[in-house]
Amino acid sequence: MQQNQTLEQNTPSTTDGDKNLNRFSVAPMLDWTDRHCRYFHRLLTKNTLLYTEMVTTGAIIFGKGDYLAYSEEEHPVSLQLGGSDPAALAQCAKLAQERGYDEINLNVGCPSDRVQNGRFGACLMADAQLVADCVKAMRDVVSIPVTVKTRIGIDEQDSYEFLCDFIDTVSTKGDCDTFVIHARKAWLSGLSPKENREIPPLDYPRVYQLKRDFPHLTMAINGGVKTLEEAKEHLKYLDGVMMGREAYQNPSILTAVDNQLFDETMPIVDNIEAVRRMYPYIEKELSNGAYLGHMTRHMLGIFQGIPGARQWRRHLSENAHKKGADLTVVEQALAFVTRGE
């Protein structure tokens, strides 16, 4: 297929937030989107699809901890899996469905050396048939959606034809109908994961074209999305938008998602009220042995641009990690915002 750069608007295959889980989502981010983060984000938006950090099949099957733990309040929530063994992925997908996850997502986008050494992530783009086998193995044992998050190419394999062949193989032979496309290619060597998020140029038109060439598939876009206005623009051509670091570092963006992208009759969430609604969760987790700082680190950016935000961040950063730190620390920090200092 030849890429056509004309930006004709697309009519997405599904636009109803209840039917399309992927209309707006917060990206899976290692060491960031843990269960504490997701609980807080859910207080800011009811409709956004939340993702776990990537969890490897080995951790789930052989690990000593409970890598599938989450709170019921997090729904809708997707488990992102890392792996390339169809049988192991099927086993984990089945466990995830039994635990109540709303979706399974296969990571075919992470370029880190650690991920490549395990033969999963972006390096899997070079073996579309294996990805198809992995997805099909999961689809055969679960009834919940199984989706793929990928890049637009890897290394020198970055032609539009390569991308189309990958999508065609995974969708037809893997029975995959939903893809989240990070609109950058990945360099598997020479760039760090951080550089791979910034240096390869974004190519939104290529993803728009992909949707036009595969209109029957659900396509969401990821990469560089920083505002809801940008999300609205992407939704003119695609079925969904995934926002990453901006949603984490400035979570107040999420307070308007339900109103702006799903249902204009829904209220915009009040930041201060959302923080206070975290109190019962914080108290429960503290009683179970969690550390305050493990929860409040996800809340640092909620008041970005509001008077008192700097003092809020400083007070939490300096005190939440201390032994015995409790809800009093959060209340003290919140006072800087409510007083507008």
Q: Which residues pair with 25 in a beta bridge?
A: 49, 242
Residues with catalytic roles:
110
Q: Are 238 and 207 in contact (CB under 8 A)?
A: yes
138 contacts 93 by C-beta, under 8 angstroms: yes
Q: Are 145 and 21 in contact (CB under 8 A)?
A: yes
Q: Give the burial class of 95: count Cβ atoms within 10 A of its Cβ; 0-12 exposed, 13-18 middle, 19 or more buried.
A: middle
Judge whether 147 and 171 are in contact, CB under 8 Å: no
Q: Is 174 annotated among the ligand-binding residues?
A: no
CA distances from 201 to 39, 186, 205, 212, 230 (A): 33, 10, 12, 21, 17
* 182 marked as binding residue: yes
Closest by CA to 54, choosing from 163, 180, 210, is 180
Q: Find out whether 149 is annotated in a ligand binding site.
A: yes
| Three-class SS state of 161 | helix
Contact yes or no for 149/160 (Cβ under 8 A): no
Confirm whether residue 244 is marked as ligand binding.
yes
Q: 127 in helix, strand or coil?
A: coil
Residue 30 annotated in ligand binding: yes
Please check if 107 is assigned to a binding site.
no
**Is residue 251 part of an annotated ligand binding site?**
no
Nearest-angstrom CA–CA distance, 222 and 197: 11
* SS3 category, 166: helix
* Residue 73, amino acid: E
80 is in an annotated binding site: yes
222 is in an annotated binding site: yes
Residue in this structure with the two tokens 């995830």, named with its chain if needed: 96
How far is the C-alpha of 211 from the C-alpha of 256, rounded, in Å? Answer: 27
Contacts of 296 (CB under 8 A, 6+ apart): 316, 320, 329, 330
224 is in an annotated binding site: yes
Residues placed in the known binding site for FMN: 28-30, 80, 149, 182, 222-224, 244-245
Residues placed in the known binding site: 28-30, 80, 149, 182, 222-224, 244-245
